[in-house]
Amino acid sequence: MSLVEEAKRIAPMLAANAAEDDELRRLSDSTWKLLLDGGFLRSLQPARFGGGEVSLVEFVDATIEISRASPSAGWVAGVIGVHPWQLGLFTEKAQQEMWRDDPATMHSSSYNPTGKAEKVAGGYKLSGRWSFSTGCDHCRGVMLGAISGTREIAGNQVRDFRSFLLMRDQYRIEDNWHVAGLRGTGSKDITVEETFVPEYRTQSHLDYAMNASLPGQDLNKGPLFRLPWSVVFNMAIAASALGSARGFVDAWIGGKRDRKLNSGGRAADDSLIQNRLAEALWYLDATVSRVRADAIELRQMAEAHEAVSMQQRAQMRWNMNRGCDLIGQAVTDLFRAASGRAIFLDHPLQRRFQDMQAALAHAYLVPDPLAKAVGGMILGATKQEMVL
């Protein structure tokens, strides 16, 4: 059974668990087990550790389907699902430390570099606070982002943005996830008192951006591990947002078919309402098609050992981010055209709407920086920013 088929099979169970997940402010153990046993969290993990090592497009399709049933479960599946893939780029020692005793061990993340990293002998000292660590309660490690000095790239000094892998005894989870949307993701804060992270448990995102050779690529030789980090991570959260939007539209359609307007007519016969729905579905289908096409192109380039240029990365990320932005606007228009009862917290559209707004607030789904990068590269701007 493919991941997409499995996602459709468990969709009713995920939908049934969603209220409990929201109440817990994290995924219930039952929902986590569905995602783990279904192969979603390990879908991009190296096959040599028992992972699925599936194609990126299959991962995207499955994440959309899960998010359609439960936005929080889909967000966790997308974000957590990327981490085994990234760890597959690390050294053998780092991979063994995480997976030797239990290959199903997962780790969460918080890449925004809000903490402090200091270079010391044999590694780094890390300290500080990081927010939005999705799924952290069920994980035994965390990947944190931090800046450590600068490196020279093409004659310019660029901040060295790095990922650091910490084990569970090196950090503390702060239970502060009291939010309106994506409540079930448990995206809590991570705090670190000064701790040592060895060199082999860190990688520079500048190396990801510059297509540098990574130690994990000698161990995991499939084309999946030659894809660019920024596009893969962006695609995971975009797929989650797209599935969430699809679920919102499903619920909206269900509520409109038999609704009567104040004029006495049926909402289903109103041309303005019909137009709003048609536009929302067009944006959804067009964006999903574009994301899938980009995922397939990345696979083909990796199979041919072709490097993905900075402009290609920016263009692919712009494609999905602008699409999600347009879909977000369409969802807002549909919400405004729903019954006035939709403002009540127990209305079926309310949680869906809040989940969608929370997803679109993620920094990696903001379209403006990508528009600037794409436009600047096409026009040959004097100053062009690196798309990490």
Regions of the chain with pLDDT less than 70 = 256-258, 260-265, 267, 385-386
pLDDT for res 262: 64
Identify the CATH assignment for 3-99 out of 3.10.620.30, 3.90.1150.10, 3.40.50.2300, 1.10.540.10: 1.10.540.10
Do the domains spanning 3-99 and 108-206 agree at the CATH topology level? Answer: no
Angle between helices 56-69 and 71-87 (to 10 degrees): 150
Q: Please state the domain extents for the chain.
A: 3-99, 108-206, 225-379
Contact between 155 and 90 (Cβ < 8 Å): no
pLDDT for res 273: 83
Residue 164's φ and ψ, nearest 5 degrees, are -125, 125
pLDDT for res 333: 94
- Within 8 A by CB and 6+ apart from 19, the residues are none
What CATH homologous superfamily does 108-206 map to? Butyryl-CoA Dehydrogenase, subunit A, domain 2 (2.40.110.10)
Burial status of residue 101 (CB atoms within 10 A of its CB: 0-12, 13-18, 19 or more): exposed
Contact between 341 and 347 (Cβ < 8 Å): yes
Contact between 145 and 111 (Cβ < 8 Å): yes
b/e for 203-235, b at 16 or more Cβ within 10 A? bbbbbbbeeeebbbeebbeebbbbbbbbbbbbb
Fold of domain 225-379: Butyryl-CoA Dehydrogenase, subunit A; domain 3 (1.20.140)
pLDDT for res 214: 97
Record the tokens describing residue 180, joined without a space. Answer: 């309106």
